[in-house]
Chain A
């Protein structure tokens, strides 16, 4: 019996050790990046694992080299615009597809789902041409337009609209609320968790986007944080303290959102395939 117990406890211990090791590996690069923003190039390359005193110096150099405030402002504006508009457009569409569904709308939904399989890079050339012609290059609208309506968000809202009680719908209609009124006054407040989930994943995707912004934002004063950070490596001599400070500034907002809204994020990732 003691042998069995040993076998059991030994196995347990191994599982814990494995999970602890994997957790360390998962967290380490970010930890190292954050502490490296307080170190100079020599310390970073030498593998120093604790913060030193160079944070202010790195930030000073970073702000002297790059217009960080402007890029941060662009990222915030782009992200807020996409958040508000895409949630509005996709939530009402998902609601419409589910609540008023019939053969015609189901067919349209199926076609929209197909667009999920279209790789973004496959439409990059014509999209850039169209946006050049319309004068959207280097503008907020050029950045946000392709992310305003995504099949993923429409699907997320449609799947969750299934849980919207029919009785509430009927009662609101009897009370004389318009269809739009029902959506705004009944559905939106009731679906707060879904909106939180959609907002979290949209925030992450928009803040972190790189390929499309790199194509459509070509002037230095229109760039976003990820683009600014990527530029830090282009000099002859790379100051890794500055790079890590930049990466930290770019990453902190998403990491903070991750910790506050982890539950919503988890729901969003898994929610669309329910």
Chain B
């Protein structure tokens, strides 16, 4: 087995972090709604990757590995916080040391998280998760299938049923809206 030296393995990890940190952080954020928890989750995933592999270049399909790890970490997180479906803006109070521009950006991002969660809230978890992976993370159905370890046909049907329910929800909301005019 190829074993990288500590220094070169760290270099390898730096490259992997540079390539995947944005998408993994977004992934975690759109599951947790928390900047701090997302950062912790992503850090833990990279550290686990480093410890569990002698050389990062030999990891087969590192993208799938990372997404699977972060998906599991987010599921664990949700389990721990299952009674808190949404993080509202009061809960999202930010550390006082962050300046106002950061606060403003983070509030906007948290509002966007809340908006999307409200849209997906009525769907069964297995459908909403496929939609998140496809739309938020821009993963293909085949990639989603390998991360969730479910046949591609099942992934597609979950996506379709989820989208159909959202269409109905949007149509219904439009009817209510028009009815008020």
Q: Do A and B come from one complex?
A: no
- Residues on B close to A: CB < 8 A? none
